[in-house]
Amino acid sequence: MKGLSPDRLLPTEPKALEIARRLYESVRDLPIISPHGHTDPQWYAENEAFPDPAQLFVIPDHYVLRMLVSQGIDLTELGVQRRDGGLTETDSRKVWQTFAENFHLFRATPSRMWLEHAFQEVFGWTKRLTAETAEEAYDHIAERLVQPDFKPRALFERFNIEVIATTESPLDDLKWHRAIRECDWRGRVVTAYRPDPVVDPEFEGFQQNIEHFGEITGEDTFSWQGYLNAHLARRAYFKSFGATSSDHGHPTARTENLSSAKAQELFQKALKGTCTVDEAEAFRGHMLTEMARMSLDDGLVLQIHPGSHRNHSNPVMDTFGRDKGFDIPTRTDYVKALKPLLDAYGLEKDLSIILFTLDETSYSRELAPLAGAYPTLKLGPAWWFHDSAEGMRRFREMTTETAGFYNTVGFNDDTRAFCSIPARHDVARRVDCAYLASLVTSGRLNEDEAYEVAYDLTYRLAKQAYRL
């Protein structure tokens, strides 16, 4: 590797390249707005050094794990803990070596670009990672990790993050957010309200979660009104820690707007663990409408992330637990699914609902037409598997003509891989500028407008849509 190409992801054709370069130049150094992600607030609260390269780049990254597993490497060889406490690799250098030996597997994947960006731009290591260079890379990165400039807060500042959101359960006490607020560091870290553990009757330990939900709010969460009050209370608590959004990761986009009697009936079944599959889905769907109702009062932005079949492999789930790279997207309907919620609140100008999808077929067929009509709806960026150069390009090509730019919300990184954040935002800026340049060269947009749109997509829309 001679290092990252300065024109990567920009067009090859010289005329388009010139325009794309100018556009990119204009947004490259804008602050990062990260309104949706999964970094750990403990990092910012404690500001401890990250332990080592393998624990930073390999073991917690389900993108990296799944690709290595797909080629026959065991999760135990990669240092992933077994639930039964069985043997797993504990030598981070060995894990790193396995990773480096298989680095070619990541060719042309976004992980490759994020990793190399981090190696080069964050750690100043510009060689290619191979079996031969593995040890040198490990030492290079490990040496830096212990330095003050590589601690979480220093990186946060170096990454030019203006604001970052984490995601917490209503049952979380937000102690790390409290610690951040009470320390003298001024980085802006906010939480987001992710109530899956207390709105999904199929969530592990639902009944106990509801009980705990009552304890921390002082509400009788086994009554319907007490349960709703507990949400109101926790949402207010989360808002006091900067939350501007809630986040909902249901298997489908189904919504319901049930009568209070029907909702209560489902809730009582959920508490008894007697919901059918369909009733559990109806209950989750109804809770989206309840959340929208609450948002009309407290202003939290509602994010809907449907369509992942989580933990698809039973043996992997049984042995290693959740989030090991075996979440698989499924076909997702939005048109029928969202109608109950939209009939109730779709025209409310004070409500903001951000939709994500893992089913790209819905971009032009369903999501752009919906967001291009309903004032409440906005489209989140290309998500997860589609958070990639081709994925972002498809998102723009398939949504812009119907929804325009202003029914989208800019980029978010959705990551727990801290060092990949600048890389991910950089990819989005480049792909958007390449797309805008293609509009300019093909006479679909004037260049002066393209600068404005580039700024909006990079910075303004995310702040506006997430009310940050």
Under rule CB under 8 A, which residues in 308-327 are in contact with a second copy? 309, 312-316, 325-327
86 binds a second copy (CB under 8 A): no
359 binds a second copy (CB under 8 A): yes
Question: Minimal distance in Å, beta carbon 123 to a second copy?
Answer: 19
Q: CB nearer to a second copy: give 297 or 397.
A: 397
Could you say which of 30, 49, 105, 271 contacts a second copy (CB under 8 A)? Answer: 105
31 binds a second copy (CB under 8 A): no
306 binds a second copy (CB under 8 A): no
CA distances from 275 to 271, 281, 283, 287, 347 (A): 9, 9, 9, 15, 32
- 308-309 and 328-329 beta bridge pairing: antiparallel
449 binds a second copy (CB under 8 A): yes
Q: What region does 414 belong to: left with phi over 0, alpha with psi -120 to 50, or beta? A: left
Could you say which of 95, 122, 243, 389 contacts a second copy (CB under 8 A)? Answer: 389
71 binds a second copy (CB under 8 A): yes
251 binds a second copy (CB under 8 A): no
67 binds a second copy (CB under 8 A): yes
Three-state secondary-structure class, residue 49: coil
Could you say which of 445, 454, 461, 468 contacts a second copy (CB under 8 A)? Answer: 445
Q: Which stretch binds a second copy (CB under 8 A): 69-77, 89-97, 196-204, 244-252?
A: 69-77
453 binds a second copy (CB under 8 A): yes
Size of the site for a second copy (CB under 8 A): 94
9 binds a second copy (CB under 8 A): yes
349 binds a second copy (CB under 8 A): yes
16 binds a second copy (CB under 8 A): yes
Tally of helices (H runs) and strands (E runs) in the chain: 22, 9
Could you say which of 328, 416, 451, 463 contacts a second copy (CB under 8 A)? Answer: 328
Contact in structure between 269 and 312 (CB atoms under 8 Å) = no
15 binds a second copy (CB under 8 A): yes
Q: Which stretch binds a second copy (CB under 8 A): 5-13, 49-57, 92-100, 222-230?
A: 5-13
330 binds a second copy (CB under 8 A): yes
Could you say which of 192, 258, 341, 377 contacts a second copy (CB under 8 A)? Answer: 377
60 binds a second copy (CB under 8 A): no
Q: Per the structure block, which two tokens stand in for 105?
A: 């597997």
Q: Per the structure block, which two tokens stand in for 71?
A: 């080629």
Question: Minimal distance in Å, beta carbon 22 to a second copy?
Answer: 16
Contact in structure between 403 and 368 (CB atoms under 8 Å) = yes
Q: CB nearer to a second copy: give 11 or 79.
A: 11
CA distances from 12 to 7, 23, 278 (A): 9, 15, 51
Strand partners, 161: 32
Q: What is the DSSP string of 298-324?
A: H-PEEEE---EETT--HHHHHHH-S-S
Question: Minimal distance in Å, beta carbon 452 to a second copy?
Answer: 8
**Other Cβ atoms within 10 Å of 23 Cβ, number:** 27
What's the burial of 231, exposed, middle or buried (CB within 10 Å: 0-12/13-18/19+)? Answer: buried
72 binds a second copy (CB under 8 A): yes
**Residue 10 has what DSSP assignment?**
S
Name, in order, each residue with C-beta under 8 angstroms of 158's C-beta and a sequence gap of 6 or more: 122, 149
